[in-house]
Amino acid sequence: MPMKRILYALLLGSILSLQIDTVFAQADAGEQRLATNQKETSISLFPMPTNGTLHIAFNKTIGEAPSVVIYDMIGNMIENISLKREAPGSFTINLSGKRPGFYFIKVQAGEESFSRRITVTP
């Protein structure tokens, strides 16, 4: 019986050590990711929740007009929209015809793709 406890303690200790090393490795990778994110494109959707007009803003100018696909909560495609530019990096979508609820929006801009959950209110 004591031998089983010793083996269990050694096994548990090695597993915990492995998990701690993994956490530190992930933390180091996260810091690198944060440093490189400053050069990557990011997207903002507002207002959230929306009652009809949704604004999409990019942190830098996008070369071509992005395409937008709206999905319902179970993954059915609701609408495929090609956006027109308002200002550099700024676009608007009219969602006033959508039923209130949660949707997913996928924005494809060149090589980059962004997916977000949106809420439409009455």
Is residue 21's pLDDT more than 60? no
pLDDT at position 102, please?
A: 95
pLDDT at position 6, please?
A: 63
Question: Whats the size of the chain, residue-wise?
Answer: 122
pTM of the predicted model over 0.85: no
Q: Which residue has the higher pLDDT, 65 or 97?
A: 97
pLDDT at position 122, please?
A: 87
Q: Which residue has the higher pLDDT, 36 or 44?
A: 44
User: Is 63 in contact with 99 (CB distance < 8 Å)?
Assistant: no
pLDDT at position 39, please?
A: 59
DSSP class of 87: B
* 43-120 topology per CATH: Immunoglobulin-like (2.60.40)
List, in order, residues 6 or more apart from 16 with CB less than 8 Å away. none
The token pair that represents 94 in the structure block = 């009219």
Is residue 116's pLDDT more than 90? yes
pLDDT at position 33, please?
A: 41
Amino acid identity, position 58 = F
DSSP class of 52: S
The token pair that represents 7 in the structure block = 């083996």
How far is Cα 22 from Cα 60, in angstroms, rounded to an integer? 34
